Structure 1
Amino acid sequence: MARGVLSFPLTAFHDDGSLDPDGFRAHVAARLAAGPGAVFPACGTGEFFSLDEEEYRTVVRITVEEAATQVPPRAGGPAREGGPARDGVPVVAGTGYGWAQATRFARIAEEAGADALLVLPHYLVDAPQEGLAAQLERLAERTRLPLIAYQRGQVAYGVETLRRIARIPNVIGLKDGHSDLDRLQRLTLAAPDGFLFFNGAATAEIQARAYAAVGVPAYSSAVHAFAPEIAGAFFAALRDGREDTADKLLREFYVPFVELRDRAPGYAVSLVKAAARLRGQRVGPVRAPLADPAPADLAELKTLLAAGLDLVGALL
């Protein structure tokens, strides 16, 4: 998964808020065609929190069907234990809430053919370290799928808890959304060999080099959902050590995008979805409680997106 951008597709809705399976299929197929290292349907960017179980089933099933037609970045290499059970790009579906409800989503993901699960933060309450570990243990007992824990919001694992969850046979990694690099370095040093870590910061490219410096090079990209050209150009620049190119993309696209994203709650999703619509993708609006961007912000986004695509064209 570190050999390509980790793609988090948007869930497509009709204007009345109902699921648009055809729109989603076209969207996820286009993301896959851009060559991500893995695809993560029905996670935060995919509005997992707003999906019912049947909608979730549809989203994961479509992603699995489309991913099976794509050749992953590791094509030609040997099969690896714990890797996809079928050919194609790995599909890691979101699951969450308490362990009982997370188990229901996990079973649906298994039936739909997902390769692994990203365990999103639980709902509402703060929890002690004992409870955070027990949450993963209960879920792991009830699914055969590999699990990637996601720490952000009210979930933050301590070193001893990390050691405990890493001993769970099917817990294979941790995605970090806190950007506390001191804590993260301690976790990476405490983890066993082969345990995976992912940069899950909002607009992760901004902090990609800092995460890589503490041993976490793999990252998720919301930008890949609407501009794989930009996301791919940045990934390639980092991979190839072209620091000037990476800096130019950060300075002229990513930093202004983050400043726009931070203007309103929920823009981490709704701004991304608006950008996808500007690119002609049939993804529809966000579902409440999120709200689509204000007209002035949408106009600024349109200008920034055009500038970002022009920049990539000039760099190539």
Structure 2
Amino acid sequence: MTIERKAPTGILGFPTAPLNENGNIDEKALAVNIDFLINEGLTSIFIACGSGEFHAISRAEYQKMVGIAIETTAGRVPVYTGVGGNITDAVELVKLSEDLGADGYLILPPYLINGEQEGLYNYYKTIVQSSELNAILYNRDNAIVNLDTLQRLVDEFPQIVALKDGHGDMELNLQLVNTIGDRLEWLNGMPFAEITMPAYYTSGFNSYSSAMSNYMPHISKLYFDALVEGNQQLVKEIYVNVLLPINQIRKAKKGYAVSLIKAGMEIQGFPVANTVRPPCVPVEQGHYDELKNIISSALAKYPVAKKETSKL
């Protein structure tokens, strides 16, 4: 089997882990979430990652979520899974993802430990060499590879197709992009990536993970298209009218980066309750009402375009 060494580009879809009234994964709601993202033009599905509460799901739930993603996408877009944390578990999840038919995986930071660069190199090496699937590294929290470490990894492992940055060190990012260049795809993975995308785009990051696309994908696309086309007036307008107000709520409580997505989806009528697993907390009513008002205002300013239907 020949594997295409190419990472997803554009706006990347990160579904949630919807829970039912019993606190279990709502399979139908997850399929709706994934299908909506694909139909709205997102270029890939990243299942059981940060937005999918990777930290809080069991192995059985992980397998179920990946299986639903593979079945629902039906080859329309690539599917990447989340792996990481405990290194032994990470290798097992890579093999499980491969067996289930995933196209690749995103490596989340190792559990708790701040390792030296040699330790991070061996962490990634152990995971990546376990499979021929495409791998995406993630600079975040306690896993920040420097230029020498990343260069060493990409020289040795063609499986590595991208680096996602959730750290925000623009000096390091410029070093990486200008030295390694198009050997990798560069993905903006900052929390609420639309907020930082103007800076990242000019630095060579042409793709990003979009949490907001779970409930207002047309605005994410409108914003990104305006950025690519150089329409600075529209970029600024959406930034001020939509992104900043939502981001103010997101920063109000720890864990809202996950739970605010579900709140937005529920407001938009998706079968997703405003429920998350600890240590995240649900969005409190006052913030929920604020988000509802922001979404209502955003939809009035930037309505969803009606899709044309063919006549028989």
Q: Same fold (TM over 0.5)?
A: yes
- Residues in 2 aligned to 1:298 and 1:40: alpha-carbon distance in whole angstroms: 26
SS of 1:96's equivalent?
A: strand
The farther-off stretch of 282-291 and 148-157 is 282-291
Work out whether 1:183 is the aligned partner of 2:172.
Answer: yes
TM-score with structure 2 setting the length: 0.91
Native 8 Å contact 1:99 1:136 kept in 2: no
Work out whether 1:174 is the aligned partner of 2:163.
Answer: yes
Post-superposition offset of 1:4: 3.2
Native 8 Å contact 2:140 2:165 kept in 1: yes
SS of 2:205's equivalent?
A: coil
Work out whether 1:56 is the aligned partner of 2:65.
Answer: no
Aligned CA-pair RMSD: 1.7
1:122 to 100, 106, 110: 110
The equivalent of 1:80 in structure 2 is none
Identity among equivalent positions (%) equals: 31
2:215 to 219, 223, 226: 226
Alignment-mate amino acid for residue 58 of structure 1? K
2:187 to 169, 173, 198: 198
Change (3 A) 1:282 1:65: same
Post-superposition offset of 1:173: 1.5
SS of 2:29's equivalent?
A: helix
- Residues in 2 aligned to 1:265 and 1:130: alpha-carbon distance in whole angstroms: 31
Q: Deviations over 1:195-219 (max 9, x none)?
A: 1211101111111121111111211
The equivalent of 1:239 in structure 2 is 228
The equivalent of 1:84 in structure 2 is none
Change (3 A) 1:46 1:314: closer
Alignment-mate amino acid for residue 125 of structure 1? I
- Residues in 2 aligned to 1:174 and 1:105: alpha-carbon distance in whole angstroms: 19
1:44 to 50, 54, 57: 50
SS of 1:127's equivalent?
A: coil
Work out whether 1:153 is the aligned partner of 2:153.
Answer: no
Alignment-mate amino acid for residue 11 of structure 2? V
TM-score with structure 1 setting the length: 0.90
Change (3 A) 1:24 1:107: same
Unaligned runs of 5+ in 2: 1-6, 307-312
- Residues in 1 aligned to 2:232 and 2:172: alpha-carbon distance in whole angstroms: 26
Post-superposition offset of 1:314: 9.1
- Residues in 1 aligned to 2:252 and 2:43: alpha-carbon distance in whole angstroms: 30
The equivalent of 1:312 in structure 2 is 302
Number of residues of Structure 1 aligned to a counterpart in Structure 2? 298
The equivalent of 1:105 in structure 2 is 93
Alignment-mate amino acid for residue 267 of structure 1? Y
- Residues in 1 aligned to 2:131 and 2:289: alpha-carbon distance in whole angstroms: 45
- Residues in 2 aligned to 1:310 and 1:2: alpha-carbon distance in whole angstroms: 31
- Residues in 1 aligned to 2:182 and 2:222: alpha-carbon distance in whole angstroms: 30
The equivalent of 1:7 in structure 2 is 13
- Residues in 2 aligned to 1:51 and 1:2: alpha-carbon distance in whole angstroms: 25
Q: Deviations over 1:130-153 (max 9, x none)?
A: 011101100112122111011111
Change (3 A) 1:103 1:241: same
Q: Which runs of 4+ in 1 moved over 3 A?
A: 1-4
- Residues in 2 aligned to 1:282 and 1:293: alpha-carbon distance in whole angstroms: 16
- Residues in 2 aligned to 1:126 and 1:3: alpha-carbon distance in whole angstroms: 30
Q: Deviations over 1:99-130 (max 9, x none)?
A: 21101111111121110100011111111110
Post-superposition offset of 1:192: 5.5
Q: Deviations over 1:200-252 (max 9, x none)?
A: 01111111121111111211111001111211211221222221111110000
SS of 1:174's equivalent?
A: strand
Q: Deviations over 1:31-75 (max 9, x none)?
A: 11101121111110111111111111111111112212xxxxxxx
Matches within 5 A, 1:252-291: 252-284=241-273, 285-291=275-281
Unaligned runs of 5+ in 1: 69-86
